[in-house]
Amino acid sequence: MALHVLDEAKRCLQCKNPQCRQGCPIHTNIPEMIRMLREKEILEAAQMLFANNPLSMICSLVCNHEKQCEGHCILGKKGAPIHISAIENYISDSCFERLKLDQKPFNGMKAAVIGAGPAGITISIMLALRGYKITVFDSRDQIGGVMRYGIPEFRLPKKNLERYQDKMRELGILFRPNFHIGSYISVQDLLDDGYKSVFIGTGAWRPRRMKIPGETFGNVQYAINYLNNPDVYKLGNDVAIIGAGNAAMDVARTAIRHGSRNVTVFVRAERALASKREMQYAQIDGVRFEYHQTAKAITDEGVIICDTEGTEDEGVTLKEETARLFPASTVIIAISQTPQDNLVQRDHELTLNQSGTLKTNEMGETTMKGVFASGDVVTGARTVVSAVSLSKKIADDMDQYMQSL
């Protein structure tokens, strides 16, 4: 691994106008990272990466690199781009426990973080480094959010999340697991208890329905529910997956690894929304793809499939006359998720957009004073790096708000 990474680093041209950095949603200084590695300044490189992106070690594994940093590498125009993700992961992973974080003394103020996913972890770390006492509340027993319960182990080893929790504890961050804010405790209760600000990063866990007949049958599952704990499901040999994003690829590859022999992904248009690399891995694993086809209904024997016409950009319509049964032991619906509305039901000052996401202003503040939000609960289901990028700005806004009190 080390030799491969060094070979890749030596290929870097150190462009004066690095397109790789422009392609990164969080603008990681990739040329400087590579220069530091080549000059054996690996710990300094890790410090720089963490300061820019606290979830650098995670993003180096799960980002869509082919469309972001590596997809913009100038060497990729005539050959293979630099394997930037491997370099970043090697640096971040090997130095994580040795990071020396410059934490300011306690400033006398507390902040509450609801949700221990990508956004919540980012906010917690950044505010703790600025001297705030942070308590993280999460409805589950382990931190990570979608990173733990929505990304398979073969793409993101869960031991990395445990390392993050250890690092957060070093910063004095406290955890309240299995604690569901919005049931017997409200956001207002947190403010009443003296938290100067509250951050909401509860993610998007409600499966988006297709609203077709048979969706409640026992042979149907939703992608986010399946990925939460695949071991408890018995899918059978023949699995049909409706939807073609990265979550659908995770479901398909996980089903194969759990013994399903025939896994078919139905793509309603001319192309899948998943990254090319994830699709290639799925095909290597044995997953089949059927294009311009989608589900019209579900029966006990499988799924009723129709041909489609049109494109994702212009709209897709069903060709009803082509309806036929595709036999399947299990049908999995993987067409994204939306946020749940538990908090809004309890704290009526919070409001939602028409899309069901939490309403915020340009500063990331919700309609409830002192309460901020980012990540999937604001944007809908997106990527880990997009949650980190937005949360960095929200951390600044929360800091400014609390300092003004």
Residues 149 and 230 in one domain: no
Q: Which domain holds residue 152?
A: 110-206+338-403
Domain annotation covers residue 235: yes
Pair (288, 399) in one structural domain: no
Q: Quick check: is 46 in a domain?
A: yes
Of 390, 395, 385, 400, give the one whose Cα is nearest residue 129.
395
Residue 105 lies in a domain: no
Q: How many domains would you assign to the chain? A: 3
Half-sphere exposure of 318 (CA within 13 A, CB side): 13
Same domain, 342 and 201: yes
Do residues 311 and 221 lie in contact, with contact meaning Cβ atoms separated by under 8 Å? Answer: no
Residue labelled with tokens 């300044």:
41
Residues 311 and 270 in one domain: yes
Q: Tell me, yes or no, whether 25 and 43 share the same domain.
A: yes
Last-in-domain residue among 63, 98, 133? 98
Last residue within a domain, chosen from 281, 301, 335:
335
- Six-digit token pair at 291? 């294009």
Instruction: Based on the fold, state whether residues 315 and 227 are members of the same structural domain.
Output: yes
Note the pLDDT of residue 175: 98
Q: Which residues pair with 220 in a beta bridge?
A: 331
- What are the CA-CA distances from residue 180 to residues 32, 165, 186, 337, 343 (Å)? 42, 19, 9, 19, 10
Is there a contact between 296 and 307 (Cβ–Cβ < 8 Å)? no
Task: Determine the longest span between alpha carbons in the chain, in angstroms.
Answer: 69
- CA distances 342 to 96, 196, 201, 226, Å, are 36, 22, 13, 22
Taking the CA of residue 378 as centre, how many other CA atoms within 13 Å lie in the half-sphere pointing to its CB? Answer: 26
Same domain, 263 and 227: yes
Do 167 and 228 share a structural domain? Answer: no
Q: Are residues 23 and 93 in the same domain?
A: yes
Q: What is the pLDDT of residue 80?
A: 93
Secondary structure string (H, E, C) spanning the chain: CHHHHHHHHHCCCCCCCCHHHHHCCCCCCHHHHHHHHHCCCHHHHHHHHHHHCCCHHHHHHHCCCCCCHHHHCHHHHCCCCCCHHHHHHHHHHHHHHHCCCCCCCCCCCEEEEECCCHHHHHHHHHHHHCCCEEEEECCCCCCCCHHHHCCCCCCCCCHHHHHHHHHHHHCCCEEECCCCECCCECHHHHHHCCCCEEEECCCCCEECCCCCCCCCCCCEEEHHHHHHCHHHCCCCCEEEEECCCHHHHHHHHHHHHCCCCEEEEEECCCCCCCCHHHHHHHHHHCCEEEECEEEEEEECCEEEEEEEEEECCCEEEEEEEEEEEEECCEEEECCCEECCCHHHHHCCCCCECCCCCECECCCCEECCCCEEECCHHHHCCCCHHHHHHHHHHHHHHHHHHHHCC
* 70 and 13 together in one domain: yes
Residue 322 in any domain: the answer is: yes
**CATH for 171:** 3.50.50.60
Asked whether 259 and 238 are in contact (CB, 8 A), the reply is: no
* 213, 199: one domain: no
Last residue of a domain, one of 316, 335, 354: 335
103 domain-assigned: no
Q: What is the pLDDT of residue 273?
A: 87
> Which tokens sit at 282?
């799925």
pLDDT of residue 3: 57
The answer on 162 and 215 residing in a single domain is: no
C-alpha distances (whole Å) from 377 to each of 59, 282, 338, 361, 366 are: 19, 29, 8, 14, 11
Show pLDDT as tens, one digit a residue, over the chain (405 residues): 455 899 999 999 999 999 999 999 999 999 999 999 999 999 999 999 999 999 999 999 999 999 999 999 999 999 999 999 999 999 999 999 999 999 999 999 999 999 999 999 999 999 999 999 999 999 999 999 999 999 999 999 999 999 999 999 999 999 999 999 988 899 999 999 999 999 999 888 889 999 999 999 999 999 999 999 999 999 999 999 999 999 999 999 999 999 999 999 999 998 888 888 999 999 999 999 999 999 999 999 999 999 999 888 788 899 999 999 999 999 999 998 888 766 767 777 888 888 778 899 988 899 999 999 998 888 877 889 999 999 999 999 999 999 999
pTM: 0.93
Which domain CATH number covers 74? 1.10.1060.10
